[in-house]
Chain A
Amino acid sequence: GQQVMQIPQYQHVQEGEDFTTYCNSSTTLSNIQWYKQRPGGHPVFLIQLVKSGEVKKQKRLTFQFGEAKKNSSLHITATQTTDVGTYFCAEGSGGSNYKLTFGKGTLLTVNP
Protein backbone atom coordinates (compact mmCIF):
# COMPACT_ATOMS: atom_id res chain seq x y z
CA GLY A 1 0.00 0.00 0.00
CA GLN A 2 0.90 3.63 -0.26
CA GLN A 3 3.29 4.81 2.41
CA VAL A 4 3.03 8.04 4.31
CA MET A 5 6.25 9.20 5.94
CA GLN A 6 5.86 11.22 9.10
CA ILE A 7 8.53 13.42 10.69
CA PRO A 8 9.87 14.01 13.21
CA GLN A 9 9.52 10.79 15.17
CA TYR A 10 9.91 12.65 18.47
CA GLN A 11 9.63 16.28 19.51
CA HIS A 12 10.20 17.73 22.94
CA VAL A 13 9.21 21.34 23.54
CA GLN A 14 8.88 23.79 26.37
CA GLU A 15 5.35 24.75 27.21
CA GLY A 16 4.40 27.76 25.11
CA GLU A 17 6.59 26.83 22.15
CA ASP A 18 5.10 25.89 18.81
CA PHE A 19 5.14 22.38 17.34
CA THR A 20 4.79 21.03 13.83
CA THR A 21 4.61 17.51 12.47
CA TYR A 22 4.79 16.67 8.78
CA CYS A 23 3.36 13.89 6.68
CA ASN A 24 4.85 13.25 3.24
CA SER A 25 4.12 10.95 0.34
CA SER A 26 5.85 10.31 -2.97
CA THR A 27 2.47 10.01 -4.67
CA THR A 28 -0.74 11.99 -4.61
CA LEU A 29 -2.86 11.42 -1.53
CA SER A 30 -6.61 10.98 -1.87
CA ASN A 31 -7.20 12.55 1.50
CA ILE A 32 -5.46 12.76 4.85
CA GLN A 33 -6.72 12.28 8.36
CA TRP A 34 -5.06 13.25 11.63
CA TYR A 35 -5.42 11.41 14.92
CA LYS A 36 -4.14 12.04 18.44
CA GLN A 37 -3.28 9.31 20.91
CA ARG A 38 -2.72 10.31 24.52
CA PRO A 39 -0.25 8.19 26.53
CA GLY A 40 -2.00 4.96 27.49
CA GLY A 41 -5.00 5.85 25.34
CA HIS A 42 -6.42 5.10 21.94
CA PRO A 43 -6.27 7.15 18.73
CA VAL A 44 -8.89 9.85 18.48
CA PHE A 45 -9.87 11.48 15.20
CA LEU A 46 -8.96 15.15 14.84
CA ILE A 47 -9.72 16.12 11.26
CA GLN A 48 -9.86 15.11 7.60
CA LEU A 49 -8.43 17.12 4.70
CA VAL A 50 -9.58 16.44 1.17
CA LYS A 51 -8.96 19.45 -1.05
CA SER A 52 -5.69 20.64 -2.51
CA GLY A 53 -4.28 23.52 -0.43
CA GLU A 54 -6.91 23.07 2.26
CA VAL A 55 -6.29 24.72 5.64
CA LYS A 56 -8.40 24.00 8.69
CA LYS A 57 -8.10 25.29 12.23
CA GLN A 58 -9.21 23.93 15.57
CA LYS A 59 -8.34 26.44 18.28
CA ARG A 60 -4.52 26.27 18.52
CA LEU A 61 -4.22 23.50 15.91
CA THR A 62 -3.77 24.29 12.21
CA PHE A 63 -3.95 21.56 9.60
CA GLN A 64 -2.73 21.99 6.03
CA PHE A 65 -2.93 19.87 2.90
CA GLY A 66 -0.34 20.65 0.25
CA GLU A 67 -1.20 22.06 -3.13
CA ALA A 68 0.02 18.88 -4.82
CA LYS A 69 -1.72 16.71 -2.22
CA LYS A 70 1.56 14.97 -1.43
CA ASN A 71 2.09 16.40 2.03
CA SER A 72 0.26 17.61 5.07
CA SER A 73 1.16 19.26 8.33
CA LEU A 74 -0.23 19.78 11.80
CA HIS A 75 0.90 22.88 13.64
CA ILE A 76 0.20 23.58 17.30
CA THR A 77 0.62 27.14 18.51
CA ALA A 78 1.78 27.75 22.09
CA THR A 79 1.80 24.15 23.26
CA GLN A 80 0.25 23.15 26.55
CA THR A 81 0.84 20.06 28.68
CA THR A 82 -2.52 18.76 27.49
CA ASP A 83 -1.08 18.51 23.97
CA VAL A 84 1.20 15.64 25.01
CA GLY A 85 0.69 12.51 22.95
CA THR A 86 1.40 10.89 19.61
CA TYR A 87 0.02 12.50 16.49
CA PHE A 88 -0.65 10.29 13.50
CA CYS A 89 -1.48 11.12 9.95
CA ALA A 90 -3.32 8.55 7.88
CA GLU A 91 -4.15 8.34 4.21
CA GLY A 92 -7.59 7.16 3.29
CA SER A 93 -7.79 5.17 0.09
CA GLY A 94 -9.55 2.39 -1.70
CA GLY A 95 -12.75 4.05 -2.83
CA SER A 96 -15.58 1.72 -1.83
CA ASN A 97 -12.95 -0.48 -0.19
CA TYR A 98 -11.98 2.35 2.12
CA LYS A 99 -9.16 1.88 4.60
CA LEU A 100 -6.49 3.95 6.31
CA THR A 101 -2.72 3.71 6.04
CA PHE A 102 -1.11 5.32 9.06
CA GLY A 103 2.18 7.10 9.38
CA LYS A 104 4.42 6.05 12.24
CA GLY A 105 3.47 9.05 14.32
CA THR A 106 5.19 11.92 16.10
CA LEU A 107 5.47 11.73 19.87
CA LEU A 108 5.17 15.17 21.43
CA THR A 109 6.30 15.79 24.97
CA VAL A 110 5.89 19.15 26.66
CA ASN A 111 8.01 20.40 29.51
CA PRO A 112 5.92 22.59 31.86
Chain B
Amino acid sequence: DADVTQTPRNRITKTGKRIMLECSQTKGHDRMYWYRQDPGLGLRLIYYSFDVKDINKGEISDGYSVSRQAQAKFSLSLESAIPNQTALYFCATSDQDEQYFGPGTRLTVT
Protein backbone atom coordinates (compact mmCIF):
# COMPACT_ATOMS: atom_id res chain seq x y z
CA ASP B 1 0.00 0.00 0.00
CA ALA B 2 1.61 3.27 -1.12
CA ASP B 3 0.23 4.96 2.02
CA VAL B 4 2.69 2.95 4.13
CA THR B 5 6.33 3.23 3.16
CA GLN B 6 9.39 1.48 4.52
CA THR B 7 13.06 2.33 4.14
CA PRO B 8 15.36 0.80 3.23
CA ARG B 9 13.75 -1.88 1.07
CA ASN B 10 16.81 -4.07 1.21
CA ARG B 11 19.76 -4.01 3.56
CA ILE B 12 22.79 -6.17 4.12
CA THR B 13 24.68 -5.59 7.34
CA LYS B 14 27.31 -7.28 9.44
CA THR B 15 26.97 -8.98 12.80
CA GLY B 16 27.21 -6.50 15.65
CA LYS B 17 26.16 -3.45 13.64
CA ARG B 18 23.31 -1.19 14.71
CA ILE B 19 20.61 -0.77 12.12
CA MET B 20 17.37 1.16 11.95
CA LEU B 21 14.37 0.35 9.79
CA GLU B 22 11.93 3.16 9.21
CA CYS B 23 8.22 3.22 8.56
CA SER B 24 6.08 6.17 7.56
CA GLN B 25 2.36 6.36 6.89
CA THR B 26 0.04 8.95 5.44
CA LYS B 27 -3.19 7.21 6.47
CA GLY B 28 -3.52 9.15 9.70
CA HIS B 29 -3.74 5.97 11.75
CA ASP B 30 -2.81 5.88 15.42
CA ARG B 31 -1.91 2.20 15.55
CA MET B 32 1.37 0.96 14.09
CA TYR B 33 3.00 -2.46 14.19
CA TRP B 34 6.29 -4.15 13.35
CA TYR B 35 6.37 -7.79 12.23
CA ARG B 36 9.02 -10.13 11.00
CA GLN B 37 8.35 -12.87 8.47
CA ASP B 38 10.43 -16.01 8.17
CA PRO B 39 9.71 -18.83 5.70
CA GLY B 40 7.17 -21.23 7.15
CA LEU B 41 6.65 -19.20 10.31
CA GLY B 42 4.13 -16.63 9.18
CA LEU B 43 4.16 -13.13 10.62
CA ARG B 44 5.29 -12.58 14.19
CA LEU B 45 4.68 -9.38 16.09
CA ILE B 46 7.76 -7.56 17.38
CA TYR B 47 6.37 -4.28 18.79
CA TYR B 48 3.25 -2.22 18.45
CA SER B 49 2.16 1.28 19.33
CA PHE B 50 -1.29 2.81 19.73
CA ASP B 51 -0.10 6.40 19.95
CA VAL B 52 3.10 8.38 20.32
CA LYS B 53 3.36 7.70 24.05
CA ASP B 54 2.29 4.07 23.90
CA ILE B 55 4.78 1.29 23.07
CA ASN B 56 4.09 -2.41 23.63
CA LYS B 57 6.19 -5.52 23.25
CA GLY B 58 5.02 -8.24 20.95
CA GLU B 59 5.84 -11.93 21.06
CA ILE B 60 9.44 -11.60 19.84
CA SER B 61 10.75 -8.24 21.08
CA ASP B 62 14.14 -9.44 22.39
CA GLY B 63 17.00 -7.89 20.43
CA TYR B 64 14.80 -5.11 19.07
CA SER B 65 13.75 -1.63 20.14
CA VAL B 66 11.36 0.89 18.64
CA SER B 67 10.72 4.60 18.56
CA ARG B 68 7.45 6.34 17.74
CA GLN B 69 8.71 9.74 16.66
CA ALA B 70 5.32 11.01 15.51
CA GLN B 71 1.91 9.66 14.66
CA ALA B 72 3.17 8.96 11.15
CA LYS B 73 6.57 7.44 11.97
CA PHE B 74 7.53 4.23 13.73
CA SER B 75 11.13 3.00 13.63
CA LEU B 76 12.56 -0.40 14.48
CA SER B 77 16.15 -0.74 15.66
CA LEU B 78 18.46 -3.67 15.98
CA GLU B 79 21.08 -2.54 18.49
CA SER B 80 23.55 -5.29 17.65
CA ALA B 81 22.43 -7.31 14.67
CA ILE B 82 22.89 -11.08 14.63
CA PRO B 83 22.47 -13.54 11.74
CA ASN B 84 19.21 -15.04 13.04
CA GLN B 85 17.63 -11.60 12.63
CA THR B 86 17.88 -12.11 8.89
CA ALA B 87 14.25 -11.86 7.79
CA LEU B 88 11.63 -9.86 5.96
CA TYR B 89 10.29 -7.04 8.15
CA PHE B 90 6.88 -5.47 7.70
CA CYS B 91 5.39 -2.36 9.19
CA ALA B 92 1.61 -2.11 9.40
CA THR B 93 -0.95 0.47 10.45
CA SER B 94 -4.60 0.33 11.42
CA ASP B 95 -7.38 2.55 12.64
CA GLN B 96 -9.70 -0.22 13.78
CA ASP B 97 -9.24 -3.88 12.94
CA GLU B 98 -7.96 -4.15 9.37
CA GLN B 99 -4.21 -3.71 9.04
CA TYR B 100 -2.43 -2.07 6.11
CA PHE B 101 1.05 -3.33 5.43
CA GLY B 102 4.06 -1.60 3.97
CA PRO B 103 6.12 -3.17 1.18
CA GLY B 104 8.62 -4.73 3.57
CA THR B 105 12.35 -4.49 4.26
CA ARG B 106 14.50 -7.48 3.46
CA LEU B 107 17.34 -7.55 5.99
CA THR B 108 20.35 -9.83 5.76
CA VAL B 109 22.83 -10.04 8.63
CA THR B 110 26.14 -11.66 7.69
Which positions in A face B, CB cutoff 8 Å?
Answer: 1, 6, 9, 31, 33, 41-45, 48, 88, 90, 92, 97-105
Contact = CB atoms under 8 A, between A and B. Distances in A.
Contacts of B99: 33, 43, 45, 100
A102 B33 CA distance: 13
Interface string B2-33: 00000000000000000000000000000101
Interface residues of B, number: 26
A88 B97 CA distance: 15
B103 A92 contact: no
A42 B59 contact: no
Main secondary structure of the interface of B (DSSP, over half): strand
B44 interface: yes
B101 A43 contact: yes
B62 interface: no
A48 B98 contact: yes
Given A1-B59, A42-B90, A42-B104, A98 B97 contact: yes
Contact of A103 (B42, B45, B100, B104): B42
21 contacts: A9-B40, A31-B97, A42-B102, A42-B104, A43-B92, A43-B101, A45-B98, A45-B99, A45-B100, A88-B43, A90-B43, A92-B97, A97-B56, A98-B31, A98-B94, A99-B33, A100-B45, A100-B99, A102-B35, A102-B42, A105-B42
A87 B76 CA distance: 26
Nearest to A97: B56
A43 B90 contact: yes
A103 B42 CA distance: 6
3 smallest CB-CB distances across A and B, nearest first, come from A104-B42, A42-B101, A102-B43
